[in-house]
Amino acid sequence: MFLTIMTIPATPVYFFLPALGLLATHIVAMHYHLYWYLPWFDIFMHLWGGYLVIIGLLMIGSIGSRRLYFPDWSLAPVLGLVMLGWEVFEYVFGVAGTHPSYLVDTTLDIIFGALGGLIAYGSVRRV
């Protein structure tokens, strides 16, 4: 199928509540230094972020009386651009640091962001 035939209701349940949860979790994580104490925490956050990007795109497409249908193939490049943009942000503002394993961390961040996007896509895809 070339076009997504799915739309999700534009309600807070699908996007805004999980986005607020992500923001609150990030604030708590920064306060308690969870990104440094729990090595897996960053991966979890990127998984969650990838999920929200795809849900957000699908929700944007379902707002209003005219439905926007994104071609299936267009979701992956948009997710990729958002993930790469975030990694550039982390690098430019020194969030990621200069640790020798920076490349491994960035690669894992992108992989798990993409996995989050796949989970989102799979969870709302109509068969």
CA distance readout (Å), 92 to 15, 75, 84, 105, 108: 28, 26, 12, 15, 18
Residue pointed to by tokens 């729990």: 38
Give the residue extent of every domain in the chain.
Answer: 35-124
> Digits of tens for pLDDT over the chain (127 positions)?
444 445 555 555 778 888 999 999 999 999 999 988 998 899 999 999 999 999 888 887 766 556 666 677 888 999 999 999 998 988 888 776 667 778 888 899 999 999 999 999 888 775 4
Helix then strand then coil, in percent of the chain rounded to 5, is 65, 0, 30
Q: Global pTM?
A: 0.82
